[in-house]
Amino acid sequence: MVQELRNDDAGRYLVTTATGSHYLLDLTARTVQRVMATTASLIEYLDVGFSQLRRDGETLELLMLESCSVGSPARYWLQIRDDHIVTLRTTSPVVGILALDQLEA
């Protein structure tokens, strides 16, 4: 399992957060897609419930990966809004990063 991703990395990754949400990151294509949690959160996050965010399930432009490491919240700069104002999305702590390209090889 990968422990950390950097903005200049390449490849496709599945990032899982403590709330159970999944982020499909394609660092080569510079895109991200969030899939809302469908399972219960880890114990520390039981009180948050399930949250739907704007444009969940859509592939969005990843402008910059500020941080993404196991044990800390990930921070993604995204193009979400139609008026082109950049959005900073911060996740709950990352609990897993899986390299998808290695699975397909």
Domain borders along the chain are: 4-104
pTM of the model: 0.81
Query: What per-residue confidence (pLDDT) applies to 31?
Result: 97
Q: What percentage of residues in the chain have a pLDDT greater than 90?
A: 54
What are the tens digits of pLDDT across the range 5-64? 999 999 999 999 888 889 999 999 999 998 876 555 555 555 545 565 555 668 999 999
- End-to-end distance of the chain based on CA atoms, in angstroms? 16
Is the Cβ–Cβ distance between 77 and 7 less than 8 Å?
A: no
Please state, as a whole number, how many other Cβ atoms lie within 10 Å of the Cβ of residue 37.
21
